[in-house]
Amino acid sequence: MISNELHPAEIRRNLKTEKFGNIIVLFDSVDSTNTASTRLAEAGFPEGTVVTASEQVRGRGRKERKWFSNSVDSLVFSMILKPKKLPIGLTSLLAYSIIETLDNFCKGTMMKWPNDIYYKGRKIGGILAEGSNEYMVIGAGLNINQREEDFPNELLLIASSLRIANGNRFDRGVILCRIIEVFERNYKNWENNGFPVFKEAVEARLLYINTDVIITNGNMHKSGELIGITEEGYLLLRCGDEVNVFSSGDLSLRRIKE
């Protein structure tokens, strides 16, 4: 059943943008909004097209990991981008735009580099960017109205939602509108000035900054102090007297053995 709060007419009525969201595609059920957006981009749909769904049955994150969501309480969406320059920092830009938006509903969300949204140590969202030379698709999945009992046992201690954080139930369509508006504004700024103008603001919302962490990429494991990001959005890790730069990887806290 199509959700009224996500109906394109309702989104358009509440949306104040120039380009993003001029075309909104809502699926009752879809494999993933990124996959659907890729099909639309290949068919020639313009930049700013937004795809969302009442139900996403094959949501995924980085490295094809499954993304848990349900049709009633999650917000899943993707946008088609056609940047005129290298898409440097756009994953972090969407993460920051979501955090900036969520401040209006629940302050204190943070970005776990490179693509996750956290609140008090528990994950409430993730971002996945994919693309080709002609377009980029960037999508997000957010836990909005889940209660503690809605999560499977294996996620109880590591996942959260906006409702758990705030105590209220939210209109997912309203949140989607505000995210699109904030991202369009930030995307314009990025087009004109690049990612460096966001570096300081993103670092201020970076989880584990100035903390000992481990970064893993395949068989590579490197530990050190997370000291920030570069002007491209890459991770800076201080390892002794050296500072290493990572463009991708999985980040975790370094557990100090007693």
CATH number at residue 87: 3.30.930.10
> What b/e readout covers 8-23, taking b as 16+ CB neighbours within 10 angstroms?
bebbeebbebeebbeb
Beta strands 242-246; 74-81: pairing state? unpaired
Any domain includes 41: yes
- In whole angstroms, how large is the CA radius of gyration of the chain? 18
Within-domain flag for 46:
yes
Residue 128 and residue 34 share a domain: yes
| Residue 80 located in a structural domain | yes
pTM of the prediction? Answer: 0.91
Domain that holds residue 229: 208-253
pLDDT in tens, 75-132: 999 999 999 999 999 999 999 999 999 999 999 999 999 999 999 999 999 999 998 8
For residue 211, how many other CB atoms are within 10 A of its CB?
Answer: 12
- Give 155's DSSP letter: G
For residues 163 and 38, membership in a common domain is answered with: yes
Q: Are residues 117 and 241 in the same domain?
A: no
Among candidate residues 189, 237, 75, 222, the one with its CA nearest the CA of residue 142: 75
151 falls within a domain: yes
Residue with tokens 């094809």: 64
Q: Both 199 and 214 in a single domain?
A: no
Locate 27 and state its tokens.
Answer: 């699926």
Same domain, 199 and 212: no
The count of structural domains within the chain is: 2
Residue 258 falls inside a structural domain:
no
Where residue 236 sits, what CATH number does that domain have?
A: 2.30.30.100
Identify the three-state secondary structure at position 70: coil
- Both 111 and 156 in one domain: the answer is yes
Percent of the chain residues past pLDDT 70, beyond the cut: 92
| 222 lies in the same domain as 140 | no
- Beta strand pairing call for 242-246 and 50-56: unpaired
Give the ranges where the chain is alpha helix by DSSP (H).
Answer: 8-14, 33-42, 90-102, 162-166, 172-193, 199-204
Q: Do 62 and 24 belong together in one domain?
A: yes
Q: pLDDT tens across 231-250, in order?
A: 999 999 999 999 999 999 99
Going by their DSSP bridges, the two strands 24-30 and 50-56 should be labelled as: parallel
Question: Which pLDDT does position 258 carry in this prediction?
Answer: 39
